[in-house]
Amino acid sequence: MKRKRSSSSFLLPRRTLFLTTVTIIILILLHVHSSIIVFQFEKEEERLLTTDRTTNKVVIQKQQRYSTIIWPFRTTASEWCYSTIHGNHNNVFQYPPPPPPPPGLIFVKVPKTASSTLVGINIRIAKKVGERILPNSKPPPTFPVSAGSYSWLLRSILLSFWNDQHQQQQQQQQQQQQQHTNNKAYWTRREELEASRTCSHTRIHGGDALLSLLLRRNRYSHTPQLLWSFVRDPAARVQSAFYHFEVSRKGVTPTLGHLISYANGESNFQYKYLSTHEDPQSFLEQHRDGHNEDATITNNNSAMIVIQDQILQQYDFLGIVERWQESLAVMILLWNLEDSDVIALSSKVAGGFDDGRYQTPGNCKRIIADASSSSLTIQSQEDEEYLESFWNTTFYANNELDYQLYQMANDKLTKTIHALGLKRVEQVVKQVKLLEALAQETCAPSAIFPCSSNGTWQYEESQKNCYWHDSGCGYPCIDGLGHNQ
């Protein structure tokens, strides 16, 4: 006779039930403990942020929360430093190869904001960082599946085909380059830069160029980039532009009337140049005329929102010309650069010569100092008072967004300095000043610019000593300073 099963036989054994219960209790305790740890970590993080602002880790952890207050950290150069000749297209076998992603280091060149000098710094950063982190040679192309899937003969045929087609494409590009320029020195220098271990970089002007680049940037959202520029006091910038483009290059007499007439022709120049809006001019006209009542720019708060959305949120850094060494020091700390990476000789110095390559190439023009040197023809005390009133009223009203941009960029730089640590930034500023003075004393006398000190055109010779036109001239000497510091 079969023994009748007890209902308890269908239940878990007591030992198994006990172990399961203990496991659940342990998991609950671990979850509670981890929550306490996270809470304690957040409290400790807050304490560190307020007591030790020299700690990069803390600032990086907080940069998302404070993204509108300080400039972001980009200390991992491998995120933005890549080369177009070092395997950008090595994940798929495709001919013709897909277009390269946009450059990783992008400088927006705003005229008369020390922009030619900054172009040299942009190239120098790309070169020096690239030399430190990019490989020495280009890796061979790879195929969509493992190489073992192909016979050695097929692999050889595919590789030979790819190389032949790639060589033909390079030859076509070289022919196009020859057709678009007669300056062999320029292309030789450019090819040398591209062939070296240099981070992919570019310098662009505002407007359509920036918009097209941002559109390309959206296609490669997985590719981090550094987008940066400098701004300048609006009145100082327009005076510098007047003396450079009108007085130095065109020979216009620097009278009060000519200066005011030129200044009246510019309105919110830097905002329009740096804005990421597709049509900044139409945007301003629409909003100022009240066509869009919900967003009319009628006060400082509205202007701040526009600048924040279209510029400050879109750029990784905006330096201030009037705070030159501070700005460079912050770049060094935010981007984990070496001090010598940001050292370059000034491209244009009062009393020297400008090559005038956009208007009169080959015709060196002496650079006339701006109005700060009292070269402006002032007839009376009334004229001086009238000019001062013009800057404070008419010009200010016509350049409201430029002044707001300048102030907000200044504030953001100041807050970033405090987040990094004032003493820490001051130490880097001292080092930058020391290297700049050393470069000026040691390298400036031997630097070869497109125009010599007596106004002689020497462009081809200069391109062996400059990164690009009159930008970064004397860099071989500065390289030596970096090794000897």
As a three-state string, the secondary structure of the chain is CCCCCCHHHHCCCHHHHHHHHHHHHHHHHHHHHHHHHHHHHHHHHHHHHHHCCCCHHHHHHHCCCCCCCCCCCCCCHHHCCCCCCCCCCCCCCCCCCCCCCCCCEEEECCCCCCHHHHHHHHHHHHHHHHHHHCCCCCCCCCCCCCHHHCCHHHHHHHHHHHHHHHHHHHHHHHHHHHHHCCCHHHHHHHHHHHHCCCCCEEEECCCHHHHHHHHHHHHCCCCCCEEEEEECCHHHHHHHHHHHHHHHHHCCCCEHHHHHHHHHCCCCHHHHHHCCCCCHHHHHHHHHCCCCHHHCCCCHHHHHHHHHHHHHCCCCEEEEHHHHHHHHHHHHHHHCCCHHHHCCCCCCCCCCEECCCCCCCCCCEECCCCHHHCCCECCCHHHHHHHHHHHHHHHHHHCHHHHHHHHHHHHHHHHHHHHHCHHHHHHHHHHHHHHHHHHHHHCHHHCCCCECCCCCECHHHHCCCCCECCECCCHHHHHHHHHHC
Q: What does the pLDDT look like over 272-317, one tens digit per residue?
A: 999 988 777 777 776 665 444 444 454 566 778 888 888 998 899 9
What's the pLDDT at 329?
Answer: 98
Q: Looking at the structure, tell me whether residues 47 and 160 fall in a common domain.
A: no
pTM of this structure: 0.72
Between CA 52 and CA 56, with CA 54 as vertex, the angle to 5 degrees is 110
Read off the pLDDT of residues 348-405 as tens digits, 9 standing for 90 and up.
Answer: 876 678 776 655 566 888 887 765 445 566 667 888 889 999 999 999 999 999 999 9
Is there a domain that residue 242 lies in?
Answer: yes
CA 175 to chain centre: 31
Indicate whether 1 belongs to any domain.
Answer: no
179 closest CA partner among 168, 191, 171? 171
Instruction: With respect to residue 4, please indicate whether it lies within any of the assigned structural domains.
Output: no
- In this structure, the answer to whether residues 57 and 90 fall within a common structural domain is no
Length of the chain: 485
Q: Could you tell me the residue range of the domain that residue 92 belongs to?
A: 63-144+151-484
56 and 95 in a common domain: no
CA distances from 201 to 159, 321, 362, 370 (A): 29, 22, 27, 32
Regarding whether 183 and 237 lie in a shared domain, the answer is yes
In terms of domains, do 318 and 459 share one?
A: yes
* 92 and 234 fall within a common domain: yes
Domain closes at, from 62, 88, 115: 62
Asked, for residue 19, whether it belongs to a domain, the answer is: no
pLDDT in tens, the chain (485 residues): 544 444 444 455 666 667 677 677 766 665 555 444 434 434 443 443 444 334 454 444 444 444 568 999 887 888 888 876 544 434 444 445 556 667 889 999 999 999 999 999 999 999 999 999 887 644 433 433 333 444 444 445 545 555 565 566 666 666 655 554 444 444 444 455 555 678 888 888 877 777 777 777 766 666 678 999 999 999 999 999 999 889 888 889 999 999 999 999 999 999 999 998 877 777 777 666 544 444 445 456 677 888 888 899 889 999 999 999 999 999 999 999 999 999 999 988 766 787 766 555 668 888 877 654 455 666 678 888 899 999 999 999 999 999 999 999 999 999 999 999 999 999 999 999 999 999 999 999 999 999 998 888 898 898 899 999 899 999 999 998 855 55
pLDDT (0 to 100) of residue 126: 94
The reported pLDDT for the residue numbered 41 is 39
Query: Would 176 be classed as within a structural domain?
Result: yes
Q: Specify if 449 maps to a domain.
A: yes
Assess whether 56 and 121 both reside in one domain.
Answer: no
**pLDDT of 10:** 46
State residue 179's pLDDT score. Answer: 52
Say whether both 56 and 67 belong to one domain.
Answer: no
Q: Is residue 102 part of a domain?
A: yes
**Statement to judge: residues 219 and 88 lie in one domain:** yes
**In this structure, are residues 399 and 226 in contact, taking their beta carbons and an 8 Å threshold?**
no
- Amino acid 9: pLDDT: 47
Structural domain ending residue among the three candidates 6, 41, 62:
62
Q: Based on the fold, state whether residues 423 and 311 are members of the same structural domain.
A: yes
Are residues 273 and 211 in contact, defined by beta-carbon separation less than 8 angstroms?
Answer: no
40 and 161 housed in the same domain: no
Phi-psi region of 402 (alpha: psi -120 to 50; beta: other; left: phi over 0): alpha
**∠ Cα 239 243 245 (to 5°):** 110
* Structure confidence at residue 85 (pLDDT): 57
Number of structural domains the chain divides into: 2
Asked if 474 and 393 sit in the same domain, the reply is yes
**Per-residue confidence (pLDDT) for residue 88, from 0 to 100:** 42
Final residue belonging to a domain, choices 42, 62, 82? 62
Burial class (CB in 10 A: 0-12, 13-18, 19+), 357: middle
Residue 352: the pLDDT is 77
Whether 18 is in a domain gets the answer: no
Sort 109 into a burial class: Cβ within 10 Å, 0-12 / 13-18 / 19+: buried
